[in-house]
Amino acid sequence: MNEPNDADNGIPSTDYTRGQAFYDLPVEVDANDNLYVGGIDLFRSTNEGTNWTQISKWSNNNALSGLNIPLVHADHHAILFRPDTGNENQAVLGNDGGVYYTPDITETTSSISITPRNNNYNVTQFYYGTIDPAGAANGDDIAGGTQDNGTPIVQDAASTINAFDEPFGGDGAYTEIDDSGQYMIQSYTGNSHRYVNYPTINQVSSITSFGGGAFINTAVLDKNLDVLYSNAGNSAVDRIERVSEFIPGGDPTYNTLLINSLLNASPSAMQISPYTTTTSNLYVGLTNSKLLKIEDANTSSATWTDISGADFIGSISDIEFGQNEEEIFVTFYNYGITNIWFTDDGGNSWTAIEGDLPDLPVLCILQNPLLPNELIIGTKLGVWRTSDYTATNVEWSQSYNGMSDVTVIDLDLRPSDNTILATTHGRGMFTSVFTSDVASVDDVLANKKVFSVYPTISNGNFKVFAKTELGNSKMNIYDINGKQVFDASLNFNEQQNQSVSVNLKSGIYIVHITDVNNRTSSEKIIIK
């Protein structure tokens, strides 16, 4: 049977699915024996495939400028005709853009109408998500890369369903808003990553240059040093691209390849230690079960170490740190294996903490900074939690009130108020918060924080800035277990900025302030 010949540039006359027949290949016949097939676009044949007519286009590029047919999202998966006599010509179409409807699919190409029907249909398939660490005052700033729906962004989002803008089309991948709130990293497929001025999004520049990478490519941003690391491997060699000096106005962008014999498979997860701030300690998980530590990855004298567990099996999906750099959580996304591991000695020994979790691929993990024994994980079946991962028999339970049984691919944390962003592959994005019964953070959780601490990572010298007039206030600092380790009085009547100096060991702490009106607020800091 003859194949349709798609009029668009870049789609071969012998392959209307453009190499994606495994993915988009619906075939249907209507009540009048007309044949319909979908690939990148939709086609109709009235003579059993001898001749084809294109009835949709996915792009308004010049190659299609003379084709007077509806613009419909690419990659078609479903064609369904309405049942019952008199309705046969009505059709619902499913594609990467959601649901479309036509009142008469048999109309001539010049008059056929196909329109989207996605109102309140929140099924976007995100891969990566990010929440602005510096933008909580006026609502949540959230962005993420998606399957064939670009990189949607919402600024000042409320705790309801929000409308996202889509400044970048195509497939979106790794996305990160810097902790300065001044730029973000936006990505396409492969090793294609871009600097974006934020929040104005009025300046965009490509920063990676070596190509390669996976379809949805792993990367990580060192927010302290403004250095991006990304998978740049190709069929010949596994490698990591390091990009520095990419912020406009400074030195020219500097691109370097990191190659080592230990890097013998494609990177599937990357993480930067938040505890080493003057240099990049880069951790890389591979598809062959290896976990690599690259010390001083931002320099020409990087040191590579294999810290894999002896019983690791499968592809590493996430790497997260606990209360110091020695504490590391690693997850895998396979069936039939142990998917969650923990070390408290930097990888010299590993403990399986999967416990009674059902046989589910695990894609991401986060520790509650207020109750460090509590963990949450993103799985193929929503979010799960344990109240004590140190228990002899770790118990897990479902913890996705307000969500559904959907794949959670990414978990991101805003440390200032412990807001969690859950990024799903099929139901959009959700937020929640970590809570504690020890050092109260009720006002933080209610988004009523009236002060900020900067820098949040320091050697013990930081400033407290009052956003409103707090008067004489009491400051307490708690360690991660809820024990008070410091207290002081601050007078914001005299100065809106108060300098604080503490002599505390390295770790995570909660700064808690009560003002004269008994308003309370808290913020997390890291002492390095």
Question: Quick check: 439 pLDDT over 50?
Answer: no
**3-class state of residue 268 by DSSP:** strand
Per-residue pLDDT, 464: 87
- Tokens found for residue 228: 């991006």
For the chain, how many helices (H) and strands (E)?
Answer: 1, 42
Mean pLDDT of 134-155: 89
Per-residue pLDDT, 63: 56
Assess contact for 286 and 312: CB atoms under 8 A.
Answer: no
- Tokens found for residue 112: 């056929």
Cα–Cα distance between 427 and 23 in angstroms, integer? 20
- Tokens found for residue 365: 């993990």
Per-residue pLDDT, 479: 80
Q: Domain extents for the chain?
A: 27-116, 126-433, 442-527
User: Do the domains 442-527 and 126-433 match in fold?
Assistant: no
Question: What residues pair up with 370 in beta bridges, in sequence order?
Answer: none
pLDDT tens for 225-283 read 999 999 999 999 999 999 999 999 888 999 999 999 999 999 999 999 999 999 999 99
Cα–Cα distance between 108 and 128 in angstroms, integer? 41
| CA 213 vs CA 254, 294, 376, 409: distances in Å | 19, 19, 29, 19
Mean pLDDT of 392-399: 93
* Biggest alpha carbon–alpha carbon distance for the chain: 85
Order of all β-strands in the sheet with 408-414: 408-414, 419-424, 429-433
Mean pLDDT of 297-306: 97
**3-class state of residue 286 by DSSP:** strand
What is the amino acid identity at position 13? S
Cα–Cα distance between 272 and 183 in angstroms, integer? 18
126-433 maps to CATH 3.30.360.10: no
pLDDT tens for 441-453 read 343 334 346 677 8
Per-residue pLDDT, 9: 81
Assess contact for 474 and 522: CB atoms under 8 A.
Answer: no
pLDDT band at 400 (very low <50, low <70, confident <90, very high): confident
Dump strand ranges (E) for 7-69: 27-29, 35-38, 42-45, 53-54
Question: What residues pair up with 232 in beta bridges, in sequence order?
Answer: none
pLDDT tens for 156-211 read 998 888 889 999 999 999 999 999 889 999 999 999 999 999 999 999 999 999 99
CA angle 280, 284, 290 (to 5 degrees): 145
Per-residue pLDDT, 445: 39
Per-residue pLDDT, 441: 39
Q: Quote the mean pLDDT of the chain.
A: 91
- The number of residues in the chain equals 528
Question: What residues pair up with 292 in beta bridges, in sequence order?
Answer: 284, 306
Cα–Cα distance between 272 and 178 in angstroms, integer? 13
Mean pLDDT of 372-381: 95
Mean pLDDT of 342-347: 97
| pTM of the complete model | 0.79
pLDDT tens for 29-51 read 999 999 999 999 999 999 999 99
**3-class state of residue 387 by DSSP:** coil
Nearest residue to 158 via CA among 431, 382, 371: 431
- Tokens found for residue 373: 């024994």
Per-residue pLDDT, 444: 37
**Domain 442-527 superfamily per CATH:** Macroglobulin (MG2) domain (2.60.40.1930)
